[in-house]
Chains A and B, each alone.
Chain A
Amino acid sequence: MDSSLSFKSGLRDVLPTVFGYVGVGLAMGIVANTSHLSVLAVLLMSLIVYAGSAQFIIISMLLAGSPVSAIVLSTFLINSRMILMSMTVARYFKRDSLLQNIGLGTLLTDETFALSMNKLNVTDQKLRPTWLHAANVVAYLVWAAATVVGCLLGNLIADPDQFGLDFAVVGMFIGLLYLQIITDRSKPLATQAEVVLFVAVCMFFLMRFFPGNIALLIATLLGCGFGMVVSPK
């Protein structure tokens, strides 16, 4: 990853995350297939909802025949972390048009958000719409394609996990988190380590009472507050 913010460099930077999208997308398509969802429904869901973990929940709730209102509420809760990520990344696009901002927000994901935060550390705290659009669009198309292929292959591959592809997304966040910690010079390493430990401990205690997705949101909010308190003034 270098300091270039061109379209081409966006394509290059997003490449490592593609593995994560392919792994999870295939798995989602296969789950959808075994839940008797049509290829068209899978494609529409990936294009319109476009949210990894939420799509798994939606499929399982559709299969269970849950009321639409309950599915929509669950989706909102799982994806409410997007509000925090969008707010964080939006600061760097204040001078760009509202239309550009809406375009960037529409396709922002956990992965392209994390990638942007990594990128800031090598570009002197700058981002450009072209660069993020490139990353976003690649992620969007790869996700849609992977879920559709997964759905089509559903009957052929009994156990996609045997190739370890389900770990791609975890591996990606390990890499993104590590690179974030070592390249973010705006905060002392000790402060970052304290936030990491605090959030990890919070997650363990919160998951006694809440499912992972909700625990994740609360732990992030607590972690940001904790960071403000412990960072040197």
Chain B
Amino acid sequence: MNAYILITILLCGLVTWLSRVIPFAVIKNMTVPGWLINFLSFVPVAIMTAIFVENLLVYHAGHWPTFNLPNIYASLPAILAGVLTKSLLAVVITGVAAMALLRFVGLG
């Protein structure tokens, strides 16, 4: 490992750590205004939806995104498992098994 790699890792670690820690220090020392609490209360559902949808699309610079069909197919049984069991583990295992199956039959 050379200096280039080491310095990159250290600086990337620093900016990531600051992104994680500064909000904790700021929120601890301020009275959070009502509108901000209201705004932040939508972060969980908004960010989880965004992460999920990001995985269903494929980015192409300068063009419309296309659909990631294997991920969309595997999502269907995973969602069904969630509705039926309300268990996080069941959703993950069903999704992984569905994806393995898709790859096995050549659709993945």
A residues with a Cβ closer than 8 A to B are 1, 15-17, 19-20, 23, 37-38, 40-41, 44-45, 48-51, 54, 58, 62, 68, 71-72, 75-76, 79-88, 90-91, 93-94, 98, 101-102, 104-106, 108, 110, 113-114, 117, 161-182, 184, 186-187, 192, 195-196, 199-200, 202-204, 207-208, 211-213, 215-216, 219-220, 223-228, 231
B residues with a Cβ closer than 8 A to A are 1, 4-13, 15-17, 19-28, 32, 35, 37-55, 57, 59, 61, 63-65, 71, 74-75, 78-79, 82-83, 86-104, 108
Cβ–Cβ contact A228 & B45, under 8 A: no
Cβ–Cβ contact A212 & B54, under 8 A: yes
Which of B15, B23, B52, B100 interacts with A86 by CB under 8 Å? B23
Decide if the interface of chain B is mainly helix, strand, loop or mixed: helix
For B68, the closest partner residue in chain A by CB is: A170
Given A101-B24, A175-B92 in contact, is the A91-B40 Cβ separation under 8 Å? Answer: yes
Decide if the interface of chain A is mainly helix, strand, loop or mixed: helix
Q: Which residues of B contact A81 (CB under 8 A)?
A: 47
Q: What are 17 A-B interface contacts by the 8 Å CB criterion?
A: A38-B1, A48-B10, A75-B12, A86-B20, A88-B43, A101-B24, A105-B25, A106-B17, A164-B95, A164-B102, A170-B55, A173-B48, A173-B52, A175-B92, A177-B45, A219-B50, A224-B40
